[in-house]
Amino acid sequence: MAKAKLAVLISGRGSNLQSLIDAAADPDYPAEISLVISNRPKAAGLARATKAGITQTTIDHKDFQTREDFEAALDDALRLAKVDYVCLAGFMRMLTPNFVNDWRGRLINIHPSLLPAFKGMHVHERMIDAGIKLAGCTVHFVSAEVDAGPIIGQAAIPVLPGDTADTLADRILQQEHKLYPACIRLLAETKARLSGAVVLYDSSVIASGDLSNPPTE
């Protein structure tokens, strides 16, 4: 079966991009990264794409008068590369409902909380302040509302005594790096599909009981 083609959109360090690069290095992985796009010319993640020999481009939002113009350039680049899925990985631009609708079912994001809890910014600090006992991350299809949309997968971890926003962020990030490639695998293998407002798994996807669904190892 032909591999699914991914575009990965970044704004910063790109550690989730790296996890997808690493996963795609396995010949058996069912997806490949065709294109990396950053909206910031200095995003550290761009060097990761260069190192892996992946086509990369910067589409700097500051070069455009309007959000729509910026998104038109983004859309052109994505269509030219004929990508199947667009993976947001620390991409720090809000996308308009038009763009989101055009890419419905193909636009994916990762967020460092168990959605629908803790949408938005400063998530780790807010989780520590709230005293929650289970944290985690979510991979989801993007909808017009920020940090919402059909959930593809989630992984949970305990919040430990003495955790700070930073230590918690580090441990959630380790889960992110496993969950994102696992979710893209599910989609590429058509073992998960969008059904209205939710994502349904094929019966072959068996939860392992270790607080990650889909299982990551």
Which residues are marked as active site? Answer: 111
Out of 83, 87, 90, 153, the residue judged to bind ligand GRF by CB under 6 A: 90
Residue with the shortest CB distance to ligand GRF: 90
Q: Which is nearer to ligand GRF, 110 or 186 (CB)?
A: 110
Which strand (E) or helix (H) includes residue 33?
strand 31-38
Interior CA angle at 45 toward 55 and 106, to 5°?
65
CB count, 10 Å around CB of 85?
20
49 binds ligand GRF (CB under 6 A): no
Q: Is the dihedral of CA 209, 212, 216, 217 positive or negative?
A: negative
Interior CA angle at 125 toward 123 and 131, to 5°?
100
176 binds ligand GRF (CB under 6 A): yes
Compute the distance between CA of residue 114 and CA of residue 157 in angstroms, rounded to an integer: 10
Q: Which is nearer to ligand GRF, 74 or 88 (CB)?
A: 88
Out of 6, 8, 9, 16, the residue judged to bind ligand GRF by CB under 6 A: 16
Q: Which is nearer to ligand GRF, 72 or 167 (CB)?
A: 167
Give contact residues for ligand GRF (rule: CB under 6 A): 10, 12-16, 45, 89-90, 110-112, 173, 176
